[in-house]
A and B are shown apart, each in its own frame.
Chain A
């Protein structure tokens, strides 16, 4: 099972878990619909579109309404802590959730109780909690942007509010920040640092950088980081090694952005609809290297 855990920016959205589908621009799960804008719905839609090319795998979502105050996230954490031990999940991605170290640690215990540990991905708020808990090494992949990387690299920061560089991005410091992240054991096995250039790294440093094609209008568009995490989640679910999955995903995300021919007013769903075409093209280039 490929499972994605996250939130919907609507307080009234109930806690749901189940197979998710995409009809046009609308996601459906357990009879509930949500429009695909940025955030976890964009991540889910991107994973679904990538799976269309990858032999039509199912995507399972664990979702709850949360507008950033954390009530929904805590309800979802509690549900997962109860249900994970009996589940079989191959790849598990955590996304926009309220960072809460105590609940993070209960989730880790629940995952450790599973018969087999999933391939683990953390992004956004849940990645902050993973770092804050000191258990970054439990994860196969973190997907920070430049500011989030600054937080991972700051061994003294208990919260992003204390980090220099969290909102004042300096993408030129990526190499140094990656080293510092691993020096203090605050990195997952691999990092996919998202930005003008996407860097794939592990403890020895940057392995690959993807910076082409670069589409200027995408700077305005919300959700391109979410779609990148969605694509890599789908690729890791077919057992692709993490560095290759990250490179394929970064290239696919950029190519889908190029094919969408966006203006600064375009929506992320226009990019998402181009993912199958872009992924098929990138996979063809990798040819025999694929698992």
Chain B
């Protein structure tokens, strides 16, 4: 039992990028993906939210990439909290490779980062958020009004202030801006 725990801890710390044995968790809707991501990250599992691969016909706009070795573990865990995945698919084919949600455009003085449908533009020197675009969800104008004019250090976070899928995508975009711009 202790040995098992020790190896679990070791696995959790491993980076997903260095592993070949990956799988994807497929859910019926994006609300379930967001809940599952929260549960798995809280448990320390090295998972990543991605776009669904072109070869996968079921599920919604988001999937979770996970270490395939942990398949049974994660299935039990997610079933126990009431969000069992529709499918757990091994990434065995290029058509089953999940797609990156992020795109970056360099405008010289400004950097635009898009996560799915939401875009954040920051001034590179000051890290001031100068624009937010995309998305028609009801909380988008509110989030934009809170964030534009703030720096990425002191902006309110969409994950706490938003209520929709667009708010979630905006949080991902902010995290990617932080990853690219902060030391």
Contacts and interface: CB of A to CB of B under 8 A. Distances in A.
Interface string B160-171: 001111110100
A264 B130 contact: yes
B17 interface: no
A265 B112 CA distance: 10
B151 interface: no
Contacts of A127: 136
Interface in A217-247: 217, 219-225
Q: Which size bracket describes the interface of A in this complex?
A: 35 or more
Interface stretch (A45-53, A131-139, A157-165, A252-260): A157-165
Contacts of B145: 9-10, 37
Nearest to A266: B131
Nearest to B32: A161
A88 to B, nearest CB: 29
A145 B123 CA distance: 27
Interface residues of B, number: 47
A187 to B, nearest CB: 16
Nearest to B114: A219
B175 interface: no
Given A69-B163, A168-B61, A265-B123, A39 B131 contact: no
B165 A167 contact: yes
B117 A220 contact: no
B61 A165 contact: yes
A163 B61 contact: yes
Interface stretch (B3-11, B23-31, B38-46, B89-97): B23-31
A229 B121 CA distance: 23
A69 B141 CA distance: 12
Contact of A220 (B131, B139, B163): B131
Interface string B103-147: 001010110100011110101000000111111111111111100
Contacts of A18: none
Contacts of B131: 220-222, 264-267
Contacts of B134: 145, 222
Contact of B133 (A98, A168, A220): A220
Interface of A: 7-10, 37-40, 66-70, 73, 96-99, 123-125, 127-128, 144-145, 147-148, 159-169, 216-217, 219-225, 263-267
Interface of B: 28-31, 51-52, 59-62, 99, 101, 105, 107, 109-110, 112, 116-119, 121, 123, 130-145, 148, 162-167, 169
The 6 closest A-B pairs by CB, nearest first: A68-B139, A39-B141, A265-B130, A9-B142, A167-B116, A67-B142
Given A166-B165, A263-B109, A264-B131, 7 more contacts: A39-B141, A124-B138, A160-B137, A168-B52, A220-B133, A222-B134, A225-B136
